[in-house]
A and B are shown apart, each in its own frame.
Chain A
């Protein structure tokens, strides 16, 4: 995405964002010795208040890719992309299935990672290791995608003045630095800044785009209806099946993301958690909804782009908007800075979650269970740096379309959902069927994707895998012999234990 308008001004704005993030990170970690405890570093001491929790949920869920990738999706699919509002909203519905109980149990048992729950519930090495693998794989892919996107956005914003590789390295160093200093606290507080600029940026971008098409959205739709009627028509059958499949895939996948689960652990209180969710439920219309409108307007501004061309849509529109007058010029630069900030804000959460799983789950559970908390935190910090270096090496060959890799990471990660959610309520659910369910689901989803059948009749491979996974786990547990002692132990683990 090349922005012909930017250049030096873009560098100034990006540098300012970087400095602000570093200052926030420094202030978040100052004098607190966060590295001494796992919960202090990775979960902000389980003490996040409403503002920080709301924005960290927001900025983590909505990345810069939400804009750069979703506007082209709307451009290519037309009004069917309205689904992006509902699939981002349904995440809250899935949270409602498990967050209320998990929050209570996680506070009682001082969980740090999602794996803590899986291990506690099933007491099975096989289930624990497989779920760690699936979650780290999903997180790694997700992080890779964000790193690629940082480079593309910065290179675009500065009109190529800053080459792609330098851009990625500069922002990764900034991110690692503030995360090192302040852990989850720094991540959440930088998310407040990143979330606010993203919201404002989207709104101004939309206003500029509407101005360019004469201020009348209806004329855009009429234009599309006359030139590309398929984009306004009732979606065909497979597209509606695909829509429903997206609701399931994103709903379960995004709610069960390790960093999403850790935000449940980090909440200061149930009251703050549910109020944050309650507000987040309204964010899709004013985030993905507005981006959808931007993509639709793009159809009229730049008709006839192919897939590769449409990926550049946001940059092309920004060029036009910046040319309106100096006000829009500066807002567009701020906006692209905001996109970079939004990508960084998603990447930092994913990286922190990755580090926490390496230190708590891999190192703390299997390699050196006797290690002090401080040592575990340090292992997590260093392994975070190591994984970023590894992913950067991969990132130099970025894949073409952002959306494809977005689907890929969900397919494996979502397979943890049955163990995670069903395990909270069904005491008969037992480890061996859960393991085979998870494995067969992941294999089916992975194979379908690798053989180029990422959807079958519109249903995503991840959803088919999830269905198989669920069936194996449920039927297997139904017939598995569970001793009454084991069942009452499970009952003990899943109970809320509220004193009368």
Chain B
């Protein structure tokens, strides 16, 4: 495999932009404070939204690991 075909997460800018966006969704800075907090499915609504982004982060990182990272895998697998 030539160097151009390898996949290294650090070289893909969109990965890190995506990560920052998800982090901004997780941290609850964008909700109005001091107002009545509706409770949905046992969670205050802001916590439910934050939880949604937290789970999105798990899925995103999990997917990145297997799909956007491939440097020496093919070489190693051929050695075996």
Judge whether B71 and A100 touch: CB under 8 Å: yes
Q: Is B55 part of the contact surface with A, judged by Cβ < 8 Å?
A: yes
Residues A270 and B73 in contact in the complex (CB < 8 Å), given A79-B43, A498-B3: yes
Looking at the assembled complex, report how far the CB atom of A254 sits from the nearest CB atom of chain B, in whole angstroms. 14
Partner of B51, one of A85, A104, A218: A85
- When distances are taken between beta carbons in the complex, the residues of chain B under 8 Å from A100 are 8-10, 69, 71
- When distances are taken between beta carbons in the complex, the residues of chain A under 8 Å from B29 are 237, 240, 244
Residues 13-30 of chain B, each 1 if its beta carbon lies under 8 Å from chain A, else 0: 001000100010011110
Q: How far is B10's CA from A271's CA once the two chains are assembled, in angstroms?
A: 18
Q: Is A374 part of the contact surface with B, judged by Cβ < 8 Å?
A: no
Partner of A101, one of B43, B66, B71, B77: B71
Judge whether A225 and B10 touch: CB under 8 Å: no
- When distances are taken between beta carbons in the complex, the residues of chain A under 8 Å from B65 are 92, 96, 274-275, 277-278, 281
Looking at the assembled complex, report how far the CB atom of A100 sits from the nearest CB atom of chain B, in whole angstroms. 5
Judge whether A285 and B3 touch: CB under 8 Å: no
Partner of B61, one of A221, A243, A281: A281
Q: Is A90 part of the contact surface with B, judged by Cβ < 8 Å?
A: yes
Looking at the assembled complex, report how far the CB atom of B43 sits from the nearest CB atom of chain A, in whole angstroms. 7
Q: Is A269 part of the contact surface with B, judged by Cβ < 8 Å?
A: yes
Judge whether B3 and A271 touch: CB under 8 Å: no
Looking at the assembled complex, report how far the CB atom of B31 sits from the nearest CB atom of chain A, in whole angstroms. 4
Q: Is A450 part of the contact surface with B, judged by Cβ < 8 Å?
A: no
Looking at the assembled complex, report how far the CB atom of A78 sits from the nearest CB atom of chain B, in whole angstroms. 9
Nearest chain-A residue to B2 (Cβ)?
A500
Partner of B37, one of A216, A234, A498: A234
Partner of B39, one of A93, A222, A240: A222
Q: Is A379 part of the contact surface with B, judged by Cβ < 8 Å?
A: no
Q: How far is B76's CA from A498's CA once the two chains are assembled, in angstroms?
A: 11
Judge whether A89 and B75 touch: CB under 8 Å: no
Main secondary structure of the interface of A (DSSP, over half): helix
Looking at the assembled complex, report how far the CB atom of A349 sits from the nearest CB atom of chain B, in whole angstroms. 21
Q: Is A310 part of the contact surface with B, judged by Cβ < 8 Å?
A: no
Please count the residue pairs between chain A and chain B whose beta carbons lie under 8 angstroms apart in the complex: 156
Q: How far is B70's CA from A86's CA once the two chains are assembled, in angstroms?
A: 25
B window 28-80: CB within 8 A of A = 28-29, 31-35, 37, 39, 41-44, 46-47, 50-51, 53-55, 57-59, 61-66, 69-73, 75-77
Judge whether B43 and A221 touch: CB under 8 Å: yes
Nearest chain-A residue to B46 (Cβ)?
A234
Judge whether A218 and B77 touch: CB under 8 Å: no
Q: Is A282 part of the contact surface with B, judged by Cβ < 8 Å?
A: yes
Judge whether A271 and B61 touch: CB under 8 Å: no
- When distances are taken between beta carbons in the complex, the residues of chain B under 8 Å from A222 are 39
Centre residue among A218, A221, A244 by max chain B CB count within 10 A: A221
Residues A244 and B27 in contact in the complex (CB < 8 Å), given A234-B32, A498-B6: yes
Judge whether A240 and B28 touch: CB under 8 Å: yes
Residues 95-108 of chain A, each 1 if its beta carbon lies under 8 Å from chain B, else 0: 01110110110010
Centre residue among A86, A97, A271, A498 by max chain B CB count within 10 A: A86
A window 93-142: CB within 8 A of B = 93, 96-98, 100-101, 103-104, 107
Judge whether B31 and A234 touch: CB under 8 Å: yes
Judge whether A271 and B23 touch: CB under 8 Å: no
Nearest chain-A residue to B10 (Cβ)?
A97
Q: How far is B53's CA from A85's CA once the two chains are assembled, in angstroms?
A: 10
A window 274-302: CB within 8 A of B = 274-275, 277-279, 281-282, 284-285
- When distances are taken between beta carbons in the complex, the residues of chain A under 8 Å from B43 are 79, 221
Nearest chain-B residue to A424 (Cβ)?
B10
Judge whether B58 and A282 touch: CB under 8 Å: yes
Centre residue among B2, B26, B77 by max chain A CB count within 10 A: B26
A-B CB proximity, top 8 nearest? A278-B65, A218-B42, A281-B62, A217-B42, A79-B47, A281-B61, A234-B31, A500-B2
Given A240-B27, A270-B70, 19 other A-B contacts at CB below 8 A?
Answer: A79-B43, A79-B44, A82-B54, A92-B65, A93-B19, A96-B61, A96-B69, A104-B71, A232-B44, A233-B33, A233-B34, A234-B28, A234-B33, A236-B33, A243-B26, A269-B77, A270-B69, A277-B65, A498-B75
